[in-house]
Amino acid sequence: MDLAQLEIFLCVAEQKSFSRAAEKMLRTQPALSISIKRLEEELGETLFDRSSKSGTLTEAGHILLSYAQRMINMRDEAMESIAELRGMYRGRLTIGANESTSLYLLPELLLEYRNLYPQIKIEVFRNVSERIPSEVLERNLDFGFLSYDPMNPLLQSIELIRDELALVVPPGHRFADRKQVTVKDLGEEQFVAHNVKTPARTRIFELFAQHNTPLNICIELATLETIKAFVELRAGIAILPRLAVRDEIEAGKLIEVSVKGMKIEKTLRLVFRRENTLSHAAKSFLDLVRRQ
């Protein structure tokens, strides 16, 4: 089994077609088929279901997929590290983050990193929190931003910032002039909420349940920016990370109202592999984060 075979395997799996993979790799389809056939003979297993026209992976193919990707990623890391030793300092930094981190924390951090290391290519992928630890372990990402500790012995995490959830209402709302409201008061309101399940969302539901109060969600949306827009349009009120609504509160577009007994914190963490073989680009980013 060599890396060239694995690259062909990954391309066919990604394209779900031998012909499309051949076109992408600028190779002939028979050449790709021969390579996959030799790989299957070496493994003693069929990797693709030949009865399917969509290049469906067999069970053995699914098992090989993640290993193959990791091996290619390690090859790329080794080549970049060797290039860095020659003084070229060309590298790539890959980060996985959710929406709020991408919008409200990363811009300033990455701008400073870019100013220090303009030769490094930065790629930020929007991921759901549940997938980030495995993406880091499989070397698809150098770092991941999470609001929880993944508790994996192969991963290390450092605490970056603590944020808190805040109730926001539009100007002119009946709560806008009140210093504080109770959870019971909120039982009469309509909420606009995020449709992604998170630990913070679970804690909000638990808080309302503890006070025997219904949480009336009238609209669920995919992004925080859309939720804020709907609240400004008086479609409902919302409980959002303070970091996400800081600018709107300062501009007077939204009003923050204190909720008695509600203190739900979100601790943002940076997660990375525990091993010490980080690339130059990754080490530089980690140093910057620790200085911050």
Q: Is the pLDDT higher at 268 or at 276? A: 268
pLDDT given for residue 285 in this prediction? 92
Distance CA 55, CA 104 (A): 40
Q: Which residues of 207-239 are buried (b: 16+ CB within 10 A; e: fewer)?
A: bbeeeebebeeebebeebeebbebbeeebbbbb
Q: Quote the pLDDT of residue 174.
A: 96
| Tens-digit pLDDT profile for residues 133-173 | 999 998 899 999 988 888 899 999 999 888 899 999 999 99
Nearest Cα to Cα of residue 163 among 75, 225, 241, 84: 241
pLDDT score, position 162: 87
Q: What is the mean pLDDT of residues 197-223?
A: 92
pLDDT over 90 (residue 85): no
Band (pLDDT 50/70/90 cuts) for residue 79 is confident
With a cut of 80, say whether residue 126 has pLDDT above it: yes
Spell out the domain ranges in the chain. Answer: 3-81, 87-161+267-291, 162-266
Q: What's residue 84's pLDDT?
A: 65
Residue 54: pLDDT above 80? no
pLDDT-wise least confident of 39-53, 164-178, 201-215, 240-254: 39-53
Lowest average pLDDT, out of 83-97, 174-188, 216-230, goes to 83-97
Q: CATH homologous superfamily for 87-161+267-291?
A: Periplasmic binding protein-like II (3.40.190.10)
Who's near 15: CB < 8 A, 6+ residues apart? 21, 24, 55
Largest CA distance in the chain: 74
CA pair distance 137, 79, nearest whole angstrom: 19
> Six-digit token pair at 44?
């003693």
Structural domain 162-266, CATH architecture: 3-Layer(aba) Sandwich (3.40)
What's the predicted TM-score (pTM) here? 0.64
Kindly state the DSSP code that residue 118 receives in the 8-state scheme. T
**Residue 88 in this model has a pLDDT that exceeds 50:** no
Query: What is the distance between the alpha carbons of residues 208 and 58, in angstroms, rounded to a whole number?
Result: 46
How far is the first Cα of the chain from the last one, in angstroms, to the nearest whole number?
A: 44
Please classify residue 81 by burial: count the beta carbons closer than 10 Å to its beta carbon, then call 0-12 exposed, 13-18 middle and 19+ buried.
Answer: middle
- The more confidently predicted of residues 202 and 91 is 202
Q: Please name which of 77, 100, 96, 80 lies closest in space to residue 88, comparing C-alpha atoms.
A: 80
pLDDT of residue 82: 74
Work out the angle between the directed axes of helices 18-25 and 3-15 (0-180°, nearest 10). 120
Cβ atoms of 67 and 138 within 8 Å: the answer is no
Which residue type is seen at 175? F
Please list the residues that pair with 82 across neighbouring strands.
none
* Annotation: CATH topology of 3-81: Arc Repressor Mutant, subunit A (1.10.10)
Residue 253 predicted with pLDDT over 90: yes
Average of per-residue pLDDT values in the chain: 89
Rounded CA gap, 292 and 290, in Å? 5
Whether the domain at 3-81 and the domain at 162-266 fall into the same CATH topology: no
Quick one: three-class SS letters along 33-62? HHHHHHHHHHHCCCCECCCCCCCCECHHHH
| pLDDT computed for residue 246 by the predictor | 92
Token pair of 42 as six digits: 């070496």
